[in-house]
Amino acid sequence: MSFPNLKVAIEGHVAVVSIDHPPANALNAQTFEGLKQMLDAYEHDPQVKVIVLTGEGRFFIAGADIKEFANFSGEQAESLSLAGQQLFNRMEAFSKPIIAAINGACLGGGLELAMACHIRFAAEEAKLGLPELNLGLIPGYGGTQRLPRLIGRGKATQLMLTSEMISGAEAHRLGLAEAVYPAEQLLDEAKKLAAVIAEKSAVAIRFALDAIHTGENTGLEQGLQYEAKLFGEAFTTEDMKEGVSAFLEKRKPQFKDR
């Protein structure tokens, strides 16, 4: 299966998806279309339980393709922003985990995409930032909203207003990345994590992601009620019965993802 500006390798239940738009993997309309098609294809594909998203070559995503929108009107720019936000919102709410393996420059729209992923691993020397103010712009694909939620308002404001780039190691210290590795180990570590997750019940994975996302976008009380609802639904699944039986029988569960 192929998608515009993406390379894909299926390894067990893990899809390793690489942005492939040389020279810098800039986000353009074709890359957005490739990402949409990839999500469409894997959303209901039982073979794929986890997605690892990385960049081909030295870059993760160096930002948006400025040449595409340099002459946009205000109305066109707003539509572009809304379209990008819609795609990244879909990624954030996706029913299967998306792990970003940030292998190099992750700037502007690239960082906004990474922040929409469920988990982020970064190479030590990767460069992350939101440099839009250098162009007289602001982040438009959710950066002003997601970065403060991930690292706090003060530091997020500082990084945005200065257009400062930080290393993968600093991103990890701030909580923007869950782990940091030497570049040559990064993808293998991301795939190891994906393989561990893929051993779980796909139904339980979906319920957990749904509960987390719902709780983040409502209040605590609503989130708790929704968690209880999904907890009850989990008890009706074959995988729950298999998981409990395996625990009591001291063996590894054989989930059927239903």
What's the pLDDT at 254?
94
Domains of the chain, first to last: 6-198 (3.90.226.10), 202-248 (1.10.12)
Which residues are known catalytic residues? 112, 132
Q: Which residues contact 193 (CB under 8 A, 6 or more apart)?
A: 99, 119, 121
- Mean pLDDT for back-to-back runs of 10 residues, the chain (258 residues): 94 97 94 97 96 96 89 94 97 98 97 98 97 96 97 98 98 98 98 97 97 94 97 96 95 94
Contact by Cβ (8 Å): 4, 30: yes
Q: Which residues contact 96 (CB under 8 A, 6 or more apart)?
A: 42, 43, 48, 49, 50, 51, 202, 205, 206, 209
3-state secondary structure 80-94: HHHHHHHHHHHHHCC
Question: Buried (b) or exposed (e) across 18-49, using 16+ Cβ within 10 A?
Answer: bbbbeebbbbbeebbebbbebbeebeeeeebb
What does the alpha-carbon distance between residue 101 and residue 227 come to, in Å, rounded to a whole number?
29
Q: Which of 133, 156, 136, 135 is nearest to 144 (CA)?
A: 156
**Gyration radius from the chain CA atoms:** 19
What's the pLDDT at 67?
87
What's the pLDDT at 6?
97
